[in-house]
């Protein structure tokens, strides 16, 4: 009896973000395709070798992407938006990036969050007459490369029903399921290519099984997998992120040879699957958490799997709960990390080793890994008993929070009049989301300060020069509500975490968010407290440079929670409320300093929503309460903004309204203002700033294009409640395109002011 082992995917950015730098060099024209391909080959080879060295039974291929795995699947299927005019059967790497980032002629493909993660995928665009054109050359090449290293390759692809569910129809109206027969044939062709390459197992990811699917979509699984079974490849049907035990009977009847379940996020489902698994299937249990960075309790997990081993024998596989894409690559480069806390952590490379240790113990007995288990046990004991984790002061303060602390004194309809009188803003007021270009000079300045090469006062003065530049640029552009540009901030979560107790920071704990964009989530290991103001000095300085309103810029408690690696020894709700109190203190200090427009960004609110609707109410109650706790302690004349991006909001609009922010800014440019319709249908009561251009693309839209979007916005939201802004922060953009885009944005706002005033005058005359 031999229990098998594998992972669902590995990070593709490289341990020190090699892919990011190679991509950006290529986009700048500083390197060619060959150089980019060489970097990719090196990363993939190292990833495969890591799995081979850990003695995993199967080595995963197909998890690498130059930009996004959903885009990879679209390329494999030849599902390319016609509007680009590309030959779907032969897409160059440069054209791939045009799809992802847009070009002079076409905006980029729409982008949104991958389920409840902070990873963004590119949404496939479907046409009724699409002809799928399969191309698997890239993944076949990787299969050959793994075999040359001595590994057993297991290709991974996104399943047909997940692909179809997440895709969107553009410019037509038809039922997506009408495409299923031709899509299924395309997938059959992919499997035939794997079969011809003598691939034994294929991992087909169908994470939509974790959602509340309509019955006809569930029924489609029977048809699709019945047809794919005729090819003859062994299929591991992969689910993750949720408990899918409600579908046991249906999945067990599917003609697939294996099923993967998430045993880290939903351990309650393991027993049911072990008890009901048919004798002709394998069960892969994702026992190692692919979404967090805490070291596994190997002894406990081995004990947990013993009953599954007894029941299933060699039909048991051990793996990660999901792809390790959501974790940093390796602890190898974390030499400066607090050694006590470092010993509590495991990144992707260490998680692969943990799988190897657990599998070896199950196959050979605990005696075969005595040393490894002793180290694991010691780390668990140290973390449980550390005095650094809890604070009586923080816990007592949280216990004293009252309901009144989460409620603005005056309803929005009354306080907005006071704010309008105080701020004296025009119709269609213009602003930006917060950050301005993080130039090479700024990044080098921050790095030099971090290395101790620049003293604190010198650093402050030089940062103030960049703040002054940002303010001057906005004044020249005639923007109405300004921001200080965030030159001093490395990341919207990390910056604040560095000023809070209970956080620790890595040097290379990077995780891909989209394309070359990587984030370095801080680690919440203990109770949270804000010992001193974090943003007051820079914001007050920026306000001193202008007579226009200056926004205070903060990250909200739910985004701080979602975009950190969060402690798993207490409910997330408690950590969120601790964060809310810290942000509340900062809001009140900003107000005391004379800042009367304060933005508390919550782009991750929708991302944190549980995948099952049955669990929404509980999450939304404490998430909204946390935001209100952070924002409600201000005067009526202080205007609270919030920002959300790249999410579907329509199903939680009552909860967004319950946040009671005076102004919400949202991403709508890539969806051509379609996301805004739900706010209109719902009759959202407060002010809204729909993004009028996509900051993730270097493309600068015209004044007419932005005016068109604002006209569409006026069809669903009264002009008196509309703000004008980009769809997100400008950190990743250059100054030249930023000036051009913001100039067009301001011009569009002024055109709309004249148009609406003319219409109002005409109505008055009638």
Q: Please report, in range form, the residues annotated as the binding site for L-methionine.
A: 433-435, 486, 601
Question: DSSP string covering 309-356, please?
Answer: HHHHGGGEEEEESS-GGGS-S-GGG-TTS-HHHHTTB--HHHHHHHHH
Place of tokens 């704010």: 419
Q: Tell me the β-bridge partners of 641.
A: 599, 663
| Cβ–Cβ < 8 Å for 81, 110 | no
Q: Which residue has the tokens 């102004």?
A: 663
Residue 183 to residues 65, 99, 131, 155, 224: CA-CA distances in angstroms?
22, 21, 9, 19, 9
Alpha helix locations (H) across 478-603?
494-497, 536-544, 557-562, 572-592
Enter the tokens of residue 648: 């579907």
Residue 475 token pair: 């004044």
d(CA 66, CA 590): 42
Using an 8 Å Cβ cutoff, are 36 and 93 in contact? yes
Is residue 260 part of the annotated active site? The answer reads no
Q: For residues 630-663, b (16+ Cβ closer than 10 Å) or e, as one string? A: bbbbbebebbbbbbbbbbebeebeebbbebbbbb
8-36 burial string, b = 16+ CB within 10 Å, else e?
bbbbbbbbebbbbebbebbbeeebeeeeb
In whole angstroms, give the CA distance from residue 112 to residue 648.
8
What does the block give as tokens for 471? 């303010």
Residue with tokens 């480069």: 333
Chain centre to alpha carbon of residue 655: 21
For residue 677, with 0-12 CB atoms within 10 Å meaning exposed, 13-18 middle and 19 or more buried, which class applies?
middle
Q: How is residue 26 written in tokens?
A: 């290529």
**CA separation for the pair 471, 482 (Å, rounded):** 7
Find residue 169's DSSP bridge partners. 126
Residue 169: how many CA atoms within 13 Å on its side-chain side? 11
Measured distance CA(375)–CA(371) in Å, rounded: 6
Beta carbons of 724 and 744 less than 8 angstroms apart:
no
Residues 159 and 190: their CA atoms lie apart, in Å, by 11
Q: How many residues does the chain have?
A: 766
DSSP assignment string, 113-174: E-TTSS-EEEPPEE-TT-------HHHHHHHHHHHHHT--EEEEEE-HHHHHHH-EE-SS--
Annotated catalytic residue within 326, 449, 466, 696? 696
Task: Express the helix, strand and coil content of the chain in percent, nearest 5 each.
Answer: 50, 15, 35
List residues forming the annotated binding site.
17-20, 113, 118, 433-435, 486, 517-518, 563, 601, 607, 643, 645, 667, 728
Cα separation, 566 vs 493, in Å, equals 13
Question: Can you tell me the distance from the alpha carbon of 681 to that of 37, in angstroms, rounded to the nearest whole number?
Answer: 48
- What does the radius of gyration of the chain's CA atoms come to, in whole angstroms? 26
Q: What are phi and psi of 149, to 5 degrees?
A: -85, -5
Show Cβ contacts of residue 532 under 8 Å, excluding neighbours closer than 6 positions.
499
Please state, as a whole number, how many other Cβ atoms lie within 10 Å of the Cβ of residue 756.
Answer: 18
Tokens 């939903």 identify what position? 266
Distances (CA, A) of 731 to 444, 522, 694: 15, 19, 13
Calculate the CA 548 to chain-centre distance.
Answer: 34
Catalytic center residues: 696
């Amino acid at each position: 009896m031999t229990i098998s082992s594998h992972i669902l995917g590995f990070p593709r950015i490289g341990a020190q973000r090699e892919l990011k730098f190679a991509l950006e060099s290529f986009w700048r024209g500083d390197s060619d395709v060959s150089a980019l391909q060489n970097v990719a080959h090196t990363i993939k080879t190292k990833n495969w070798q890591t799995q081979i060295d850990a003695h995993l039974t199967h080595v995963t291929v197909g998890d690498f992407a130059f930009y996004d795995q959903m885009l990879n699947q679209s390329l494999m299927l030849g599902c390319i938006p016609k509007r680009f005019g590309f030959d779907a059967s032969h897409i160059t790497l440069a054209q791939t990036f045009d799809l992802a980032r847009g070009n002079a002629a076409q905006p980029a493909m729409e982008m949104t969050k991958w389920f409840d993660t902070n990873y963004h995928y590119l949404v496939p665009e479907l046409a009724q007459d699409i002809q799928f054109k399969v191309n698997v050359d890239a993944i076949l090449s990787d299969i050959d490369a793994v075999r040359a290293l001595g590994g057993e390759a297991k290709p991974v692809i996104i399943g047909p029903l997940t692909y179809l569910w997440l895709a969107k129809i553009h410019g037509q109206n038809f039922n997506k399921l009408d495409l299923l027969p031709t899509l299924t044939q395309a997938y059959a062709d992919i499997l035939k290519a794997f079969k011809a390459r003598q691939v034994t197992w294929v991992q087909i990811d169908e994470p939509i099984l974790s959602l509340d699917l309509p019955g006809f979509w569930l029924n489609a699984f029977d048809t699709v997998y019945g047809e794919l079974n005729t090819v003859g490849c062994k299929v591991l049907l992969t689910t993750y992120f949720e408990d899918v035990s409600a579908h046991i009977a249906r999945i067990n009847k599917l003609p697939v040879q294996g099923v993967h379940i998430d045993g880290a996020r939903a351990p309650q489902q393991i027993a049911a699957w072990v008890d009901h698994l048919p004798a002709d299937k394998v069960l892969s249990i994702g026992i190692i958490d692919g979404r967090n960075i805490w070291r596994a309790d190997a002894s406990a997990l081995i004990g947990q799997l013993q009953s599954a081993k007894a029941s299933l024998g060699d039909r048991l596989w051990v793996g990660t709960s999901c792809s390790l894409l959501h974790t940093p690559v390796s602890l190898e480069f974390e030499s400066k990390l607090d050694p006590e806390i470092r010993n509590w952590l495991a990144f992707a490379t260490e998680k692969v080793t943990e799988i190897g240790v657990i599998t070896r113990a199950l196959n050979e007995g605990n005696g075969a890994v005595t040393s490894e288990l002793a180290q694991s046990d010691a780390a668990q004991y140290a973390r449980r008993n550390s005095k650094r984790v809890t604070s009586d002061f923080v816990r007592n303060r949280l216990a004293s929070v009252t309901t009144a602390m989460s409620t603005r004194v005056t309803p929005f309809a009354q306080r907005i009049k006071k704010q309008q009188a105080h701020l004296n803003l025009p119709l269609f007021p213009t602003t930006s989301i917060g950050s301005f270009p993080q130039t090479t000079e700024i990044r080098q300045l921050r790095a030099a300060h971090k290395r101790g090469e620049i003293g604190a006062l010198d650093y402050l003065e030089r940062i103030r020069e960049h703040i002054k530049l940002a303010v001057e640029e906005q004044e020249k552009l005639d923007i109405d509500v300004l921001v200080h540009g965030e030159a001093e901030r490395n990341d919207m979560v990390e910056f604040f975490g560095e000023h809070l107790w209970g956080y620790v920071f890595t040097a290379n704990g990077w995780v891909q968010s989209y394309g070359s964009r990587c984030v370095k989530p801080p680690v919440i290991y203990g109770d949270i407290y804000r010992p001193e103001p974090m943003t007051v000095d820079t914001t007050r300085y920026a306000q001193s440079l202008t007579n226009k309103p200056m926004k205070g810029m903060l990250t909200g408690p739910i985004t701080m929670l979602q975009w950190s690696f969060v402690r798993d020894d207490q409910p997330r709700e408690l950590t969120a409320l601790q964060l809310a109190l810290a942000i509340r203190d900062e809001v009140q200090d900003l107000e005391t300093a004379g800042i009367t427009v304060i933005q508390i960004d919550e782009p991750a609110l929708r991302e944190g929503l549980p995948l099952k609707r049955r669990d929404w109410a509980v999450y939304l109650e404490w998430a909204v309460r946390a935001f209100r706790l952070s924002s409600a302690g201000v005067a009526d004349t202080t205007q609270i903004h919030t920002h959300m991006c790249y999410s579907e909001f329509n199903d939680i609009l009552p909860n967004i309204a319950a946040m009671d922010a005076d102004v919400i800014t949202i991403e709508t440019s890539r969806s051509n203002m379609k996301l805004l319709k739900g706010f209109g249908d719902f009759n959202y009561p407060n002010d809204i700033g729909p993004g009028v251009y996509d900051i993730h693309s270097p493309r600068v839209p015209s004044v007419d294009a932005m005016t068109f979007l604002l006209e569409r916005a006026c069809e669903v939201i009264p002009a008196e409640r509309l703000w004008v802004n980009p769809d997100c922060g400008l950190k990743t953009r250059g100054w030249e395109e930023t000036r051009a885009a913001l100039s067009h944005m301001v011009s569009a706002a002024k055109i709309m002011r004249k148009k609406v005033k003319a219409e109002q005058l005409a109505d008055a005359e009638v």
